[in-house]
Amino acid sequence: MNILVFLETSEGKIKKTSLEAMAYAHGMNGVTTAIVLGKADAGDLQTLGKYGAAKVLHAADTKLDEPIIQVYSSVLAHAMQDEKADVLLLANSSLGTPVAAKVAIKLGASFASNVTELPDTSSGFTVKRSIYTGKAFAFVELTGAKKVITLKKNAAELKETGGNAPVVNYTVPLNEADFNTKILKTEKATGDILLPEAEIVVSGGRGMKGPEHWGILEDLAKALHAATGCSKPVSDMGWRPHHEHVGQTGVKVAPQLYIAVGISGAIQHLAGVNSSKCIVVINKDADAPFFKAADYGIVGDAFEVVPKLTQAILASK
Amino acid sequence: MKILVCISHVPDTTSKIAFTDNNTKLETSGVQYIIGPYDDYALARAVELKESSGASITVLNVGLAETEPTIRKALAIGADEAIRVNAFPTDSLFVATQIAEQAKNYDLILMGRESIDFNSGVVHAMVGEILGIPSVSPVMKLDIDGTKVTMTKEIEGGKEQVESNLPLVAGCQEPIAEWKIPNMRGIMSARTKPLKIVEPKGIEAISINKKFELPAPKSAVKMISADNVVELVTRLKTEAKVL
């Protein structure tokens, strides 16, 4: 089986979620070609061999520096044909998922997003995907000759398998008509750990009583090298920006550790965190429903418990 | 301007999910159905555009007769007419194909960023691809000036300002507009607004839902004293192995 993996970059650096797609491809035992579009760190391209690529395609045309979905999907559809690839793998993201869907239409390929595990190929090709916002899973058989799959975070564990792969300059004619949307401006939190990709998340709810109290959560997040999140009421009241809202209608996270402070645990919030490996709930209300969904719980005042927890973490390092 | 708003008919966000028929069907008893929350934002923005610039709104749903109360609610909120494509929405490709069939004469096609049942989040991209027009999602702000459309789109850890032209497909999310609650006049007039039923375009299914599964039940929470946060740190390291 020939597998093409699209690796997404952020300021030229390859994203970790994309490396998970490499690990997934490795688990499928196919021949893997990695493809990177636009500006990319040369060192990062070199390391892809270690993650299982037999070959790395780099389309370095500066017109690809901006991630325009229509343009990227045309390039990837082209590469699928050039490489005679059977499967295209991508990480779920605001870029990867729509690009994948468009490639699937262009190629008449079977499509599945939010895939959480390696495919079952014992009879046919069946993937497991997350549905009902993490409340359930579906087993979906992909019957098309070509398949396009986007992966939910943690679908495969990162693995360095050794090996070197040649980095090949990939040129493809770009279609002017694909530049039908223009990116005027990008505003992005820089230097911070991005919430959808974080391994540890510290979230605050209404129990934090006001935006001026977020400092203690930020200190805890810093000690843990974590991203900060919040509940819906908190972003609705403007205490925190919308892109930090975790829940059914916000960001769905899947970290190793999720620490919820002063969040009661409405079912809509739980839907955004139920893929977390371990959940810690800190709430002064012992009856908060979130405790039922937690692995560890502390009943106590956030303003006392959180600074103590930060100290304990710093002391344990 | 003609706006098409595509809505999904989904279990409300507080629903407990369970399956029946050997885990091949959703257990629907006790489930309350609603307009998909993201679709509701799309509809709300369409109603605002109608109020500010006199657009007409058609609401579209791919679903069987059971979805009609949901469609009537969208009419009560402010859509002028409705189309129901008479088929169960089996997968994204099927739904996108049906929408594209109906969408050819519209300037703006709005829908939610994803449906909250199957969460694929790609119908807008597929419709755009099939029709050969731009698609943008998830859109938090959308303004139209002539045929020029400026949008704010959420990306990981931030946002992007994007410009494109009509005709266009947008997948919407908050805070693009405030949800609208139908008033009595809207509910009365919704009963007589036209609802057209069309048969689906047949396509070959290339992704098939075989069965469903619920996540493994969570083990009981371990409570730790607020005076002993050190124990929490130890347990996170040695027991949960997440630090």
Between A274 and A264, the more confident residue is A264
Residue of A8, A122, A123, A135 to mutate, interface with B, max B Cβ within 10 Å: A135
Q: Across the interface, do B210 and A278 touch by the CB < 8 Å criterion?
A: no
- Interface touch A93/B156, C-beta < 8 Å: yes
Size of interface A-B (CB pairs under 8 A): 242
Cα A99 to the center of its chain, rounded Å: 15
DSSP characters over B109-135: EEEESS-TTT----HHHHHHHHHT--E
Is A185–B161 a contact, with Cβ atoms under 8 angstroms apart?
yes
The pLDDT-based confidence of A157 (bands split at 50, 70, 90) is confident
Residue B234 lies in a domain: no
Q: What is the largest CA-CA distance in chain A?
A: 62
Average pLDDT value for residue range A45-63: 95
Q: Which domain holds residue B87?
A: 2-217
pLDDT at A191 over 70: no
pLDDT (0 to 100) of residue B59 = 98
| Min Cα separation A167/chain B (Å) | 28
Rounded to an integer, what distance in angstroms lies between the CA atom of residue B187 and that of residue A270?
Answer: 33
Candidates B13, B20, B133, B239: best to mutate against A (most CBs of A within 10 A) is B13
Report if residue B239 sits inside a domain.
Answer: no
Domain-wise residue ranges, chain A: 2-178, 195-315
Backbone angles phi, psi at A44, to 5 degrees: -60, -40
The pLDDT > 90 percentage for chain A reads 84
Read off the pLDDT band of A41 (50, 70, 90).
very high
> In CATH, what number is assigned to the domain containing residue B15?
3.40.50.620
In the structure, what pLDDT confidence band is assigned to residue A163 with cuts at 50, 70 and 90? confident
**Tens digit of pLDDT for each residue in B45-101?**
999 999 999 999 999 999 999 999 999 999 999 999 999 999 999 999 999 999 999
Assess whether pLDDT exceeds 90 at residue B219: no
Q: What is the pLDDT of residues A170-190, one digit of tens each?
A: 999 999 999 999 999 998 876
Report if residue B243 sits inside a domain.
no
Angle between helices B123-131 and A96-107 (to 10 degrees): 40
Q: How many domains does chain B have?
A: 1
Q: How far is A105 from chain B (nearest CA, A)?
A: 7
CATH classification code of A2-178: 3.40.50.620
DSSP designation for B176: S
Per-residue pLDDT for B193 more than 90? yes
Name the pLDDT band for A138 (thresholds 50, 70, 90): very high
In a domain, B9, yes or no: yes
Q: What is the pLDDT of residue A162?
A: 77
Range with the lowest mean pLDDT among A2-6, A112-116, A162-166? A162-166
Query: Quick check: is B242 in a domain?
Result: no
B157 is a domain residue: yes
Q: What is the DSSP letter of A289?
A: G
Look up the CATH number of domain A195-315.
Answer: 3.40.50.1220
